[in-house]
Structure 1
């Protein structure tokens, strides 16, 4: 299996070198960018297209800052993004999550902790590796790994979603929310439930970010945004997955 490639984006050369050396020693492939503009170029370049597995993105950069870079990334890619920042204010954390970031690490941080968070996110999005013999021995497991709700199909091992047979790009956080709701149609989940499932208990207190993720999910799968078929609001409580035909 090929090693994951991490794009490290920071305007401080020492920080890039510090992180890159550690990740390289841990067996990762590393690409570097010293600005938001350079990061976007690498993500879009034919040579690197689809080869970058995760972006470590500094919040404070001249020119194009981290939040604006993340916003532009989300315009064309669902690659996981972890913010690295010296800013610990609650509003900044909230903004980062609402922009579609998958995690948020405050400087100074432990390199071991950073790598552990990278590992957790990559584990969420990487397809489970299955040997050829296992594929032959368990042909029925493939169907069991699919959740079909109306025209929506969720492939659990591949962490992928399709609507009417067409692939729909979700961030890892969005996928976990959709998967959770679709696995138990009709069950109502509070915002806190979904937040802890999607991002972990450490993000308790940021429940309203779930509304942003739900809004983004609906834009991708609902034919009528004002009358959603799949992700239904239960006023005063939270959200549930509708009983789609």
Structure 2
């Protein structure tokens, strides 16, 4: 994890310097820093990062504007930094591909802790970043085929209708969790605690946004899901579309 490639994007140079200093003290050495959206896009086009710390409000292109373009080149976690604190702002960040949302002012050590948590999840669900050998039986056991889409846990890939679908780390982890537990119902709190690894405190919007992001990738019509369905009053489950008695959310 200490060898992770990190990109910090913020127009406030003092914040960039503080975060770089703290990260280096924590043992991270491969850190790039840029100060605007265009430079961030150029950096991501030339290097594969394991995590991106991205400011929202910057001159020129904002973090919200460039995030979808960064998502086209990487599935790595993207953590937004912003002074905007409303629920709408947070949902906007998740909707464009962010994995976490940190409001200013912040404690740099807390940011590092959240980055480490995201990296841990990312490396767990993207095993191709960690060289390893597997038998064919092991690889087969790590593949989940639902007809229209297939999930390969060992390669960290989602294939939909024969084409690879780019999938952010947390979205992939949520989908993989459902694949490992087909036809089982999980409520929002259970999902949050299983995937995010912490207790949920009156914030079910995060789960709902990520459920929608999974559906955008695997469903023919995300507004009428056939695979990742809502069981009214109980939660969500991943199932075969054949014979599903669903109650859409």
Residues 224, 64 of structure 1: CA spacing in aligned structure 2 closer, same or farther, 3 A cutoff?
A: closer
**In 2, Cα distance between the equivalents of 1:14 and 1:113?**
17
**In 1, Cα distance between the equivalents of 2:118 and 2:44?**
18
- Establish whether residue 66 from structure 1 lines up as the match of residue 63 from structure 2: yes
What are the ranges of 5 or more consecutive residues in structure 1 without an aligned counterpart? none
C-alpha distance after superposition, 1:197-239 (max 9, x if no partner) = 3334465323134333233322222234454332122234332
SS in 2 for 1:185: coil
**In 2, Cα distance between the equivalents of 1:131 and 1:212?**
33
- Establish whether residue 22 from structure 1 lines up as the match of residue 30 from structure 2: no
SS in 2 for 1:189: coil
Deviation of 1:244 after TM superposition, in Å, equals 5.2
Deviation of 1:33 after TM superposition, in Å, equals 1.4
Match of 1:9 in 2: 9
> What is the aligned length?
237
C-alpha distance after superposition, 1:97-120 (max 9, x if no partner) = 333211122334333332232222
Within the candidate set 66, 80, 84, 2:81 is matched to: 84
TM-score when normalising by structure 2: 0.79
Residues 104, 4 of structure 1: CA spacing in aligned structure 2 closer, same or farther, 3 A cutoff?
A: same
- 8 Å CA contact 1:149, 1:244 repeated in 2: no
Deviation of 1:22 after TM superposition, in Å, equals 3.0
SS in 2 for 1:79: coil
Deviation of 1:161 after TM superposition, in Å, equals 1.8
Deviation of 1:55 after TM superposition, in Å, equals 0.9
- 8 Å CA contact 1:124, 1:159 repeated in 2: no
Deviation of 1:81 after TM superposition, in Å, equals 0.5
Residues 20, 170 of structure 1: CA spacing in aligned structure 2 closer, same or farther, 3 A cutoff?
A: same
- Establish whether residue 163 from structure 1 lines up as the match of residue 160 from structure 2: yes
What are the ranges of 5 or more consecutive residues in structure 2 without an aligned counterpart? 243-249
